[in-house]
Structure 1
């Protein structure tokens, strides 16, 4: 087992909340976006250039007001999703192999949402000046409409949330002239989750706005190899995979979705405050207990050995809807149960066409 060096920072321990706790967590996040202390902290980060998206020719305080009020509106109407550990791992793997970076309106499972992952969907190392390095864990994502762009109906705002490191945060605020008491008050108001990063997606376009909203703006094409490894872009694909896997309409679905109603008492309270009160959707990996016999190929060849096939994307036509969609084929073992393992390596990692390419039509 590879050991982490003594100087290498450890990520904060992540104990994911139970699905029934998500309504309360959403309420805490909404409350934090209305806090004057959180507004102060957000403006401070924007002034330091730490925001991914800012408003062009608008000061940091006004920008903070706009961004926080929009996030508060999205969270209030958000549907709640809890993604299991296994399902997160499948989403990460599938996201890396999605054949396109384009987001379509029907990809999104709800107009606004808050999705909590049982294992972090990503990490990155932060090295603040004068402070020890730390590992930041991204554990949730929220999304919804934005009114900032002129053509707002064509855009989707996505916010990524990390575990709050209160100790580091207090130290950073003190470095910027805050007293210890005020720094603690600010970070206590942040709660356990912090707004970490944000992206603006344009429906039907592979470009992602990464800096400044407005004309002309600044966008990137994620299919560009030179930037495709950027962490935030990878998180987008993981989130997209988590959305798409739920709607995958095949005879052997990848997911199982259980709806857990919000308690009656809390539901009444949330309704009075204008919150969405739909059940929490818990997404887990579909369990298949059926044993499969030898698979007969179309050419009459019978598979008599077992081999591992890694997850990959395959184009699937849906004639009734007149569309062809990329579907995720999960990791699986090919061959009859109890057969000897193949001596050859048969791991499959492929797309039917290069990323962004035309899907096959009638096998061509």
Structure 2
């Protein structure tokens, strides 16, 4: 998967979602899948949610950034989300190199590789929600397909039951997406834009799609020795130690909320002091 491929991949998925075959596909889901019957949605509801999602901004996440989202997502606790916690109200995100956690067996015992997801935010007056549509590839097939969309309630209480059972492939996607959304808005990520080349623009316009830029999300390279501080306040330390990556709650005055902020792994303590747990640290830089 390359970021440059994302506009045309979105065009292919949108063409299916807006076709009679797409309408029939969602109608079949609404009639036969217990989940959709339990939340009383129709095929038209599903089609509308998917179509709206696919019209959003385009994102491509590099391999290292995707791996960080997976790792950080495993320790991300539940919190009451808001629409502002997502980078855009609607969007389409592809992983350039899908993390291993997003490769496995789905609920129908089919081997899948989740390549990304589309989302659209809604509000039912009870805290809001997002429709999440997985974008997946069969392990034995080259075609990229849309999976059945699911609701992600923003209320922490509504999400709790999913944490009490063994996580399925879709659950891992949600965990990774939630972490990615937060990380994309923090200084450790770096965003650049890619414009479709001339040939891609011509192909997109030929099928009635206006070319759109792709927002490439990369892991920012650390500068110097930031984060290797010698202590807190006036406290004096005589050793260095490794601080593992973790989430910390940070207060956002403008929004009047606390939100998780990822603190990257780093060495803390005075430079040159002995390292607790060993005398040598090997640092692997990407």
Settle same-fold status: TM greater than 0.5.
yes
Residue 15 of structure 2, aligned match among 23, 31, 55: 31
For 1:298 and 1:137, the matched residues in 2 are separated by: 48
**Structure 1 partner of 2:4:** 20
Say yes or no: does 1:100 pair with 2:59.
no
**Structure 2 partner of 1:199:** 150
* Preserved CA contact (<8 Å) 1:34 1:69: no
* Preserved CA contact (<8 Å) 1:295 1:303: no
CA separation of 1:55/1:289 partners in 2, compared to 1, >3 Å: closer, same or farther? same
CA separation of 1:136/1:285 partners in 2, compared to 1, >3 Å: closer, same or farther? same
Say yes or no: does 1:317 pair with 2:251.
yes
**Structure 2 partner of 1:162:** 136
SS of residue matched to 2:14? helix
For 1:29 and 1:277, the matched residues in 2 are separated by: 15
Say yes or no: does 1:123 pair with 2:99.
no
For 2:255 and 2:198, the matched residues in 1 are separated by: 39
For 2:90 and 2:156, the matched residues in 1 are separated by: 21
**Structure 1 partner of 2:218:** 284
Residue 181 of structure 2, aligned match among 243, 247, 264: 243
CA-CA distance at 1:297 after TM superposition = 3.2
- Residues 63-74 of structure 1 mapped to structure 2, 5 A cutoff: 63-74=42-53
User: How many residues matched?
Assistant: 275
* Preserved CA contact (<8 Å) 1:309 1:332: yes
* Preserved CA contact (<8 Å) 2:50 2:149: no
CA-CA distance at 1:283 after TM superposition = 0.8
**Structure 2 partner of 1:327:** 261
Mean CA deviation greater in 26-35 or 228-237 = 228-237
Which TM-score applies when normalising by structure 2?
Answer: 0.78
Residue 63 of structure 2, aligned match among 85, 93, 115: 85
**Structure 1 partner of 2:284:** none
SS of residue matched to 1:99? coil
CA-CA distance at 1:326 after TM superposition = 2.0
Instruction: Spell out, residue by residue over 1:165-195, the C-alpha distance to the aligned partner (whole angstroms, 9 max, x if none).
Output: 566xxxxxxxxxxxxxxxxxxxxxxx72222
For 2:137 and 2:62, the matched residues in 1 are separated by: 17
CA separation of 1:143/1:304 partners in 2, compared to 1, >3 Å: closer, same or farther? same
For 1:56 and 1:319, the matched residues in 2 are separated by: 36
Say yes or no: does 1:257 pair with 2:241.
no
CA separation of 1:136/1:26 partners in 2, compared to 1, >3 Å: closer, same or farther? same
Q: CA RMSD in A?
A: 3.5
SS of residue matched to 1:221? helix
**Structure 1 partner of 2:242:** 308
CA separation of 1:55/1:265 partners in 2, compared to 1, >3 Å: closer, same or farther? farther
Q: Which runs of 5+ in 2 are unaligned?
A: 279-286
* Preserved CA contact (<8 Å) 1:95 1:241: yes
CA separation of 1:198/1:310 partners in 2, compared to 1, >3 Å: closer, same or farther? farther
SS of residue matched to 1:257? strand
Q: Which runs of 5+ in 1 are unaligned?
A: 1-15, 168-190, 208-219, 345-364
Say yes or no: does 1:137 pair with 2:113.
yes
